Structure 1
Amino acid sequence: MIKTILITLTLVTTFCLGFTFKSIITKNNDNKMKKVTGIGGVFFKCKDPKATTEWYQKHLGLDTNPYGATFEWYESPDSTKKAQTQWTPFAENSKYFDKDFMINYRVENLEALVDELKKEGVTIVDKIETFDYGKFVHILDGEGNKVQLWEAVD
């Protein structure tokens, strides 16, 4: 009888310790901030954005819109959650970005990420702007390239 009680207590204790350990590990992983979750867009300068868009539509079959082209895809692990990547040619004299190109990265929880980046000494170029399709902010990478961060509203 005592042997059965001791075995049962040992099994229950082992189960509880395992459950507690798993909860601690899972909790720590849940708190880890995701940074970049994908490419939100590729933007580049060109002499004639309209003609460039038409060229890509005609020769490469891009399904274009007034902003360029939007590529839809599904985020994992939820294969029902649709996401998108934007492709947009800009006028070569555009002041929206300084170099010939700019990459937009999709992120989660933009405000928390900006706070973390500030603590890490990253240059934040402007304030977070909110639109009906998401929140945006620009930062500078280690070489001074302007990078756009986007928290999408999907």
Structure 2
Amino acid sequence: MAKVLGIGGMFFRSRDTKALAAWYEQHLGITELWQQEQGMTVFAPFKQTSDYFPADKQWMINFRVDDLDGMMSQLNAADIATETRPDEWDTAETGRFCRLHDPEGNQIELWQPPK
């Protein structure tokens, strides 16, 4: 049986494509052609009524990171607000999470998997 091997791309609309691409590269290290490290990817539709991310958005991307505290420090130093809710979002089974928004208001989740 044929199957999908992974995500080949992530495409979304932007008011200023060059500026938004530069923001992702500067702050998250993501370039247009991005070679990912191998690892699990979660693909999960959410109920229309979910409050896990803003109701006016159809998607939220989650990026795997190796040092959540370091990444949050870098983002905060660049005046990019991050939010954590350790008691609500983090577990020994799933790892640690934080959230931020790109310049166009898209919510991003950063995830450090458990060791």
Residue deviations 1:70-118 (CA, integer Å, cap 9, x gap): xxxx73xxxxxxx200000111121111111011001111011101101
Q: How many residues align?
A: 78
Does the alignment pair 1:125 with 2:83? Answer: yes
Q: Using the alignment, how far apart are the partners of 1:109 and 1:36 within structure 2?
A: 13
C-alpha contact (below 8 Å) 1:105/1:150 kept by paired residues = yes
Give the number of the structure whose residues are more often strand, by fraction.
Answer: 1
Aligned-pair CA distance for 1:130: 2.5
After superposition, where does 1:104-143 map in structure 2 within 5 Å? 104-128=62-86, 129-131=89-91, 132-143=93-104
- TM-score normalized by the length of structure 2: 0.58
Q: Equivalents in 1 of 2:29, 2:81: separation in Å?
A: 17
Structure 1: give runs of 5+ residues left out of the alignment: 1-34, 38-73, 76-82
Match of 2:9 in 1: none
Q: Percent identity?
A: 29
Residues of 1 paired with 2:98 and 2:29: CA distance? 13
Q: Distance in 1 between matches of 2:77 and 2:67?
A: 16
Whichever of the two has the greater Rg, that structure is 1
1:146 aligns with 2:107: yes
The residue aligned with 1:89 is 45
1:103 matched to 2:61? The reply is yes
Superposition RMSD in Å: 2.3
CA distance in 2, matches of 1:106, 1:36: 12
- Is the Cα–Cα contact under 8 Å of residues 136 and 148 in structure 1 kept in the other structure? yes
Say if 2:84 and 2:97, in contact at 8 Å, map to a contact too: no
**What's the TM-score once normalised by structure 1's chain length?**
0.45
Higher helix share: 1
Correspondence 1:1-150 to 2 at 5 A:
35=28, 75=38, 83-98=39-54, 99-128=57-86, 129-131=89-91, 132-150=93-111
Q: Which has the higher contact order (CA 8 A, sep 6+)?
A: 2
**Which residue identity is paired with 1:123?**
A
Structure 2 CA distance for aligned equivalents of residues 124 and 116 of structure 1: 10
Q: Which runs of 5+ in 2 are unaligned?
A: 1-27, 31-36
CA–CA distance in 2 between the matches of 1:36 and 1:137? Answer: 17
